[in-house]
A and B are shown apart, each in its own frame.
Chain A
Amino acid sequence: MSPATSAAAAVSVMAVAPQAYLVVGTILFAIGLAGALLKRNALSIFLSIELMMNAVNLLFLAYARMRGDAAGQMVVFFVIAIAAAEAAIGLAIFVALFRARQTVDVDKINFLKW
């Protein structure tokens, strides 16, 4: 991570096709989605959602790099900050949930229905 490396990466025409970053981001997004669908532990689902958000962040950065526009980086900044708030609230909810039900298995927490 020396300045030489990053500067070289920035100045030069990208050695790696930018689509490659998009594909990596998309794959990570799909993995996160799979986690959100298949996991039963609420915390794991939450983790998967975090992964999805990071995958999207990567897409934003890739597009920002491709367009040379800092707006993409700003969006990522905001996503990160919102994720922090979301994690604080989400985890607090899980703790409260666990205290009430002694479980965080989403299959067992289905009392919010008709």
Chain B
Amino acid sequence: MTYPLWLIPAIPLAGFLVNGLVALAAGWQRASARTAAWREAHPDAGHGDNALRHGDDHGHDDHGPALPYWQRLFHGVVGVGSTGLSGVLAFGVLVPYVRESLASKDGLPAVVETAYHWMSAGPYVLDIAFRLDPLSALMLSFVTFVGTLIHLYSIGYMQNEEGFGRFFSHMNLFMFSMLTLVMANSLPVLFIGWEGVGLCSYLLIGYYYDKDFAVAAGKKAFIANRVGDFGMVLGIFGIFSLFGTVDFSFVDMARQQAVNGGAPLSVYAVCLLLFLGACGKSAQVPLYVWLPDAMAGPTPVSALIHAATMVTAGVYLVARCSAVFVLAPGALTVVAWVGAGTAIFAASIGLAQNDIKKVLAYSTVSQLGYMFLACGVGAFGAGMFHVFTHAFFKACLFLGSGSVIMAMHHEQDMRAMGGLKPKIPQTYWTMMIATVAIAGIPPLAGFFSKDQILGAAFGAGHPALFAVGLVTAGMTAFYMFRLARMTFFGTFRGSEEAESHVHESPATMTVPLWVLAIGSLGLGFLGIPEVLGGHNTLIEFLAPSLAVSHPHEVSNATEYLLMGMSVLVAVAGIALALRWYGAPGATSEVPSVQADAFYRKTGFLGPVVANKWNVDEGIEALVLSPFRKIGNVLWRGFDALLIDGVINASAFMVELTGDLTRFFTTGNVRNYVLTMTLGVLAFTLYVWIR
């Protein structure tokens, strides 16, 4: 059976081109029209149109005039249509594949479709090929599904933006890159998608390019990712030198090697390098700093790129290379501890954030940590399961927060919210479902995936990791319900004018919310563990793609105990949140940082956590500032003196030579001819005499 796999990323690419070109042309026309209008209004103005560009300070909600209806319609139809079409196609491929795969005993072999002969070096040939196997099938399913929903949501959310077309073209480009990433059959092609999503992330974080903080956030994301990509590229080179190939056949080779036993030390290095790349993309300690700042982009971007899809690419990479990681158990331990550390660290910061999107951002970092924790203890399937469920409830949460933000007219501070429940009921209900899901309350999706991770950690003989995970679960429940309390319950704490404007979002936004909420509600049932009478279908399905992990069987009793503990901790976190934030003061003024319940009641931890453990300041002091000093020295001492000196000296020599010899240039052609003749004569004589 052949699948038109290349079409799946190609359709969003076409959408990107169409949307981009139309947006470009329309934007150009609009800009020139505006310039003409401005010139008419300011006939005595000089040439500088700086005033035009920077004079009016657009607010978030006033970012240029909204596009005319038909243009929005066009961009929306192309954007959603291309993504949706790609999704329909993807599911058309997926459904039969999954059905057959589940029906067969050992699963289907991977389907590889070569689209283009890319390059060949000596005997080695590298194709642009796409792959369909259980792992990419899983990624494909939620990337296209969630992606389409978020595109749909964006039509409503972005309707008042002048950059509507630009936004959709970049979103489509992102879809193309992400699909390339997940369907790639080789690391270089995966890397194309990897860099593509990085680029789109940068472009979309910096969507409000006239805002300094957005530009800075974009650059931060880009640079932090470069650190990771450095490791990633070296990792790819390492894979090539280890296995002699960079397409995913090396996974099978690694699996074979695992049977034979023994792995050289270099495998550890390669694994750690690849993990460095994964850390950058998936915002793990210490490269997580960019993700919270990335919330500067529009909320659908945060939902799609910085919660559901792109940031899970690191987990995907580790899972994809799981066979290699298994060869290096020490590297896996590093992965596990980095994941666990990130999980608890980010969760702790999330406890005290007041910006609704920041809370969700730290939550995302924390959940990604969970996923790496799972991979680190060998439970790659559980990790991917969490990737899958997380995509739904976190996208739902982000979109819900977007709906809240829109209702609040771009107010993101939760301290200015409160009591929104009756005003935006649909947002409330969907968000609550997702909140319960992420908190790990059975039988919602988050419970199953999180529980499997915790169980695997315990079963793999890492009680410490299990403990960290458990505490993190409690913290997650706490900050999520803190968010819910501060946003939806109590009384409204913003101005009365703001209160009067609160409104429910349009259907293009609520429908995706509901779909995602239902997903958060029910998708956990794809992976009911056997102890609860299920078949763990999803993990079974994924098994052929992943390394043979050794599911350290724990007794049923232990398993029940673990589940009980995790639910208990979650309930405890919820209870604490409800208690502390149960009756927020009914003041109409925005409380200070110090007034926050968490801040007041946790002693010395409060200020530190509220200041995000001073990580940004630490990086500034320990990394950036020394680099700046070194740069200064190099600039003043090396570049300005030595390099410029050499260049200036050589230029001076040339000038001197020119000064001395310029008198040969008499301007008389006949002199030149004579000189030439005599020169030829001399040369001929030399040749003749020699």
Choice from B663, B666, B673 contacting A37 with Cβ under 8 Å: B673
Q: Does A110 contact B (CB under 8 A)?
A: yes
A114, B665: Cβ atoms under 8 Å? yes
Q: Are A107 and B667 in contact (CB under 8 A)?
A: no
A101 part of interface (Cβ distance < 8 Å): no
Contact with B along A19-46 (1 / 0, CB 8 A): 0000000000000010011001010010
In the assembled complex, the Cα of A36 lies from the Cα of B680 at a distance in Å of: 15
Q: Is B667 a contact of A111 with CB atoms below 8 Å? A: yes
Is A106's CB under 8 angstroms from B670's CB? yes
CA of A114 to CA of B665, assembled, Å: 6
Interface of A (DSSP majority class): loop
B interface, how many residues as a size bin?
Answer: 10 to 19
B623 at the interface (CB under 8 A from A): no
B673 in contact with A113 (CB, 8 Å): no
Per the 8 Å Cβ criterion, residues 655-670 of B in contact with A are 662-663, 665-670
> Given the complex, which residues of A lie within 8 Å of B669, measured CB to CB?
42, 45, 106, 109-110
The answer, yes or no, to whether A112 is at the interface (CB within 8 Å) is: yes
Q: Are B673 and A114 in contact (CB under 8 A)?
A: no
Chain A neighbourhood of B674, CB < 8 A? 37
CA distance A111 to B666 in the complex (A): 9
Closest to A36 in B: B673
Task: Indicate if the CB atoms of A107 and B670 lie closer than 8 Å.
Answer: yes
B673 in contact with A110 (CB, 8 Å)? no
Smallest Cβ distance from A51 to chain B, in angstroms?
14
Contact residues in B for A112 (Cβ distance below 8 Å): 665, 667
Q: Give bound CA distance, A42 to B668, whole Å.
A: 11
CA distance A46 to B674 in the complex (A): 15
Q: How far is the CB of B671 from chain A (nearest CB, A)?
A: 9
Q: Across the interface, do B677 and A110 meet the contact criterion of CB distance under 8 Å?
A: no
Q: Is the CB of A106 within 8 A of B668?
A: yes
- B663:A107 contact, CB within 8 angstroms: no
Q: Which residues of chain A are near B677, meaning CB under 8 Å?
A: 33, 37
Q: How far is the CA of A110 from the CA of B665 in the complex (A)?
A: 10
Bound Cα distance from A17 to B673, whole angstroms: 33
CA distance A109 to B668 in the complex (A): 7
| Contact call A113/B670, Cβ cutoff below 8 A | no
Task: Answer whether A107 and B665 are a contact pair too, CB < 8 Å, given A33-B677, A37-B673, A37-B677.
Answer: no
Q: How far is the CA of A17 from the CA of B384 in the complex (A)?
A: 91
Instruction: Determine the residue in chain B with the shortest Cβ distance to A111.
Output: B667
CB distance from A18 to the nearest CB of B (A): 21
Query: What residues of chain A lie closer than 8 Å to B666, measured between beta carbons?
Result: 110, 113
Which residues B231-258 have CB closer than 8 A to chain A? none
Contact with B along A92-114 (1 / 0, CB 8 A): 00000000000000110111111
Complex: A110 Cα to B667 Cα, angstroms: 4
Which chain A residue has the least Cβ–Cβ distance from B674? A37
Whole-angstrom distance between the Cβ of B453 and the nearest chain A Cβ: 77
* Residues of the B chain whose Cβ atoms lie less than 8 Å from the Cβ of A40: 670
Q: Which of B637-690 contact A (CB under 8 A)?
A: 662-663, 665-670, 673-674, 677
A110 to B669, CA, bound (A): 8
With a cutoff of 8 Å between Cβ atoms, the chain B residues found around residue A113 in the complex are: 665-667
Assess A110 versus B668: contact at CB under 8 Å? Given A36-B673, A37-B677.
Answer: yes
| Least distance between B99 CB and chain A CB atoms (Å) | 70
- Return the chain A residue nearest B669 by Cβ: A106
Contacts of B673 in A (CB 8 A): 36-37, 45
CB–CB B670/A37 < 8 A? yes
Q: Collect the chain A residues with CB atoms within 8 Å of residue B670's CB.
A: 37, 40, 45, 106-107
A41 → chain B, closest Cβ, in Å?
Answer: 11
Which residues of chain A have C-beta atoms less than 8 A from B668's C-beta?
106-107, 110
Q: Once bound together, how far apart are the Cα atoms of A107 and B668, in whole Å?
A: 6
Report the Cα distance A40→B668, complex, angstroms. 10
Chain B residues in 8 Å Cβ range of A111: 667
* Complex interface: chain A residues within 8 A of B662 (CB): 114
- Closest chain B CB from A114 CB (angstroms): 4
Q: How far is the CB of A112 from chain B (nearest CB, A)?
A: 5
Minimum CB–CB distance for A45 against chain B, Å:
7
Contact with A along B477-516 (1 / 0, CB 8 A): 0000000000000000000000000000000000000000
A114: B residues at CB distance < 8 A: 662-663, 665
When distances are taken between beta carbons in the complex, the residues of chain B under 8 Å from A106 are: 668-670
From residue B364, how far is it (CB to closest CB) to chain A in Å? 68
Nearest chain A CB to B447 CB, angstrom units: 83
Q: A42 — which chain B residues lie within 8 A by C-beta?
A: 669
In the complex, the chain B residue whose C-beta lies closest to that of A38 is B670
Q: With the chains together, A33 CA to B674 CA distance in Å?
A: 10
In the complex, what's the smallest C-beta–C-beta distance from A97 to chain B, in angstroms?
A: 12
Within the complex, the shortest CB–CB distance from B477 to chain A, in Å, comes to 84
Q: In the complex, what residue of chain B is closest to A108 when comparing beta carbons? A: B668
CA distance A42 to B670 in the complex (A): 10
Mark contacts of A51-75 with chain B using CB atoms, 8 A cut-off: 1 yes-contact digit, 0 otherwise: 0000000000000000000000000
* Complex CA–CA separation, A33 to B662 (angstroms): 26
Bound Cα distance from A40 to B673, whole angstroms: 12
Of listed A36, A40, A42, residue having the most chain B CB within 10 A: A36
Name the A residues within 8 Å of B665 (CB-CB): 112-114
**A33 neighbours in B (Cβ, 8 Å):** 677
Q: With the chains together, A38 CA to B483 CA distance in Å?
A: 97
Closest Cβ–Cβ distance, residue B554 to chain A (whole Å):
87
Q: How far is the CA of A66 from the CA of B306 in the complex (A)?
A: 79
Contacts of A36 in B (CB 8 A): 673
**Chain A residue nearest in CB terms to B680:** A33
Shortest beta-carbon distance from B318 to chain A in Å: 64
Closest CB-CB distance, B654 to chain A, in whole Å? 15
Q: Please give, as numbers and ranges, the residues of chain A lying within 8 Å of B667 by CB-CB distance.
A: 109-113
- A interface footprint on B315-351 (CB within 8 Å = 1, 0 otherwise): 0000000000000000000000000000000000000
Expressed in whole angstroms, the minimum distance between the Cβ of B667 and any Cβ of chain A is 3
Can you give 10 A-B contacts (C-beta < 8 A)? A33-B677, A37-B677, A45-B670, A106-B669, A107-B670, A109-B667, A112-B665, A112-B667, A113-B666, A114-B663
Given A40-B670, A112-B667, 14 other A-B residues pairs in contact with their CB atoms under 8 A: A33-B677, A37-B670, A45-B669, A45-B670, A45-B673, A106-B668, A106-B669, A109-B669, A110-B666, A110-B668, A110-B669, A113-B665, A113-B667, A114-B663
Chain B residues in the interface with A (C-beta under 8 A): 662-663, 665-670, 673-674, 677
Among all A-B residue pairs, the 7 with the closest Cβ atoms: A113-B667, A110-B667, A114-B662, A106-B669, A110-B668, A112-B667, A113-B665
